[in-house]
Structures are given as C-alpha cells and as structure tokens.
Amino acid sequence: MKQLKFLAIAAGVMALVSCGQQPAPAQEPVEVDKAAVVIENIMTRVSVRQFTEEPVAKADLETILKAGLQAPSAMNAQDWQVRIVTNQEMLNTLSGFMLSTEMGKGMAERLNGKNAFANAPAVAFIAAETGEKATAYNREDTALLSENILLAAHALGLGATYQAAPARMINDSKEAKDFLKTTLGFPENADLINIIIIGHPAESPAVKDRDQSKGRIIE
C-alpha cells in the first residue's frame, strides 16, 4: 500500500513538471569589448595616497606582480628586481631609516604620524639590475614594469601611487640599503628606482585633465 501511494505521488510530481514551464533556453554569452575595458582602465586610473587598514589579498598581489613582470624590456633582458612587502614591521623598520635622512626629516612633518609609505598595506620596491647582463635601458624597463603594476592594481579595484622620493631616501641611507639586501633579498647589482604603494582606497581622487596639445598625429 505504501508503495502504491509513493508511485501515485511520484506520478503527480511528474505531471506537474511536464505541465510546468520549460527550462529557459541557454543565453548567448555576452561578448566583452576588450579594447574598451583596457582603455577605460587606463583613462580612469588615478594616484591614491590614502588607504584603509584592510590588507590586500595575496591572490591580488600575485596577479599584480605577474602583470608587472609581463612588461616588455629591451632585448627581453628583464633587467629588474621586484619585492612586494606586506609585513608592517619590516616596513616600519625601513621607514625609520628613511625618515632619519635629510630628505626624510622634512617629509616626516607632512606624514602626520604615518610611516614613509603612508601606512599602505603593501609596498612594491622596484630596482634596475646593473652589470654585464643589464642593458643601457634598465631604468626605462622598470618604468614599463611600474605602469603595468599601477594598471593591474586599478583593474582589481585597488589604489596605488608611483613614488620616487622614498626610493631616494632609501638610497641615501646605508642602513636602508643594507635592509633591502639582507631582509628583502635584493642582489648586490640591484639599484632601487622607485616604489609603489598599494592598498584599498580611502579616498576617491578625480581624474586630472591632461594637456592634449602635447600630443599630435602628423599625417
């Protein structure tokens, strides 16, 4: 009896299903305009210097680093070295060395208690390799790498800023330069060129106008 009752219920369910709505047809995948996405990312990127305390996900940093290393370089020399640091103790130690320099003493007053990296949760240190294997365009190569990092960070919804002054402070401090080599593992033939601070934006700067007259198409 129980078996007959179960069969009856099952038959009823099948009848309801057969009378119900048919599954919606599969939708065609929406084609993404890759050019528009890339150009919008370039045109909307801004420099961000204020960050929340939220850490940057390691997966995002790995993507940013990979994008940076995908940059072109003269003769494909890849004559650069990059370290992305999230360890705040390390960053604070390095900041102490930097702010003790002549340039750093003047900057300390403007930081309002923050470290030399604006308390960013992640900092990329970018160096150019020197020596026989490096090309004469190693600094230009690091600029290309840096732009890739900036654009990748923006694409992931993060804020970032290219900074040269902090790199000069590090280069002016023996302790700071030693720290790069002993703690961050930079080789002896690496000259620090710039840093990029990265984090979740705590500000929304407007995109600044660019002087379009400085570029021309000549036919």
Look up the pTM and report it. Answer: 0.85
Is the CB of residue 122 less than 8 Å from the CB of residue 88?
A: no
The CA-based angle 134-137-140, given to 5 degrees, is 125
Work out the average pLDDT over 138-150: 98
Choose between 110 and 203: higher pLDDT.
203
Burial grade of 139 (CB within 10 A; 0-12, 13-18, 19 or more): middle
Work out the average pLDDT over 197-211: 96
Q: 91 pLDDT exceeds 70?
A: yes
Judged by DSSP in three states, 158 sits in coil
Is the CB of residue 94 less than 8 Å from the CB of residue 125?
A: no
Sequence spans of domains, the chain: 44-199
User: For residues 41 and 89, what is the distance between their CA atoms, to the nearest angstrom?
Assistant: 33
Instruction: Note the pLDDT of residue 23.
Output: 61
Instruction: Note the pLDDT of residue 185.
Output: 96
Q: Which residue has the tokens 């494909």?
A: 76
Question: Which contiguous run of DSSP H or E holds residue 94?
Answer: helix 88-99
Instruction: Note the pLDDT of residue 132.
Output: 85
DSSP letter string, 30-56: PPP-HHHHHHHHHHH--B---B-SPPP
CB crowding 46-70: b at 16 or more within 10 Å, else e: bebbbbeeeebeeebbeebbebbee
Is the CB of residue 203 less than 8 Å from the CB of residue 50?
A: yes
Q: Which residue has the tokens 């369910």?
A: 13
Confidence of residue 1 (pLDDT cuts 50, 70, 90): very low
Confidence of residue 22 (pLDDT cuts 50, 70, 90): low
Task: Please give the mean pLDDT across all residues of the chain.
Answer: 89
Its CATH architecture, for the domain 44-199, is 3-Layer(aba) Sandwich (3.40)
Q: 34 pLDDT exceeds 60?
A: yes
φ/ψ (deg, to 5) at 197: -90, 140
Judged by DSSP in three states, 66 sits in helix
Instruction: Note the pLDDT of residue 124.
Output: 98
User: For residues 45 and 184, what is the distance between their CA atoms, to the nearest angstrom?
Assistant: 29
Instruction: Note the pLDDT of residue 16.
Output: 39
Q: 29 pLDDT exceeds 90?
A: no
Q: What is the pLDDT of residues 40-77, one digit of tens each?
A: 999 999 999 999 999 999 999 999 999 999 999 999 99
